[in-house]
Amino acid sequence: MSYSYSIITVDDSSTMRRIIKNTLQKLGFSNILEAEHGVEALEVLSKNEVDIIITDWNMPEMDGLTFVKTLRLDPKYVDIPILMVTTEAAKEDILTALKNGVNNYVVKPFTPEILQEKVFKLLDIS
């Protein structure tokens, strides 16, 4: 399978970005953008259309929650599905993320199958 969807993975850990990118590539996605934090991601998004955003929570410059809030206030980005990949697994943190516009979340460490399930669901791939 190959998919033409464009995906951005936002994480300050290059290792985590590589894991996510490799997993997505194995699933058939080839159009994958990267950013180290929210500020860089906004810069990338201003120049590229993406179909789904996969973002970390804890990052320098602009953390994932602030990034999500910023996106949801902008009509250009209000409808883009956002998957948060986080170590913040406390129920209240998850609720905070969802309340602020995250569509779904994956708790680190995660399996390729979990990432696939959540990404496919948000892109409506069956």
36 binds Mg ion (CB under 5 A): no
Q: Are 101 and 68 in contact (CB under 8 A)?
A: yes
Of 39-47, 51-59, 68-76, 112-120, the segment contacting Mg ion by CB under 5 A is: 51-59
- CA nearest to 85, candidates 71, 65, 100: 65
Structural tokens at position 38: 């929210």
3-state secondary structure of 50: coil
Q: How far is the CB of 116 from Mg ion (least distance, A)?
A: 22
The answer to whether residue 58 forms part of the interface with Mg ion (CB under 5 A) is: yes
User: Cβ closer to Mg ion: 69 or 108?
Assistant: 108
Residues contributing to the site for Mg ion (CB under 5 A): 12, 56, 58-59
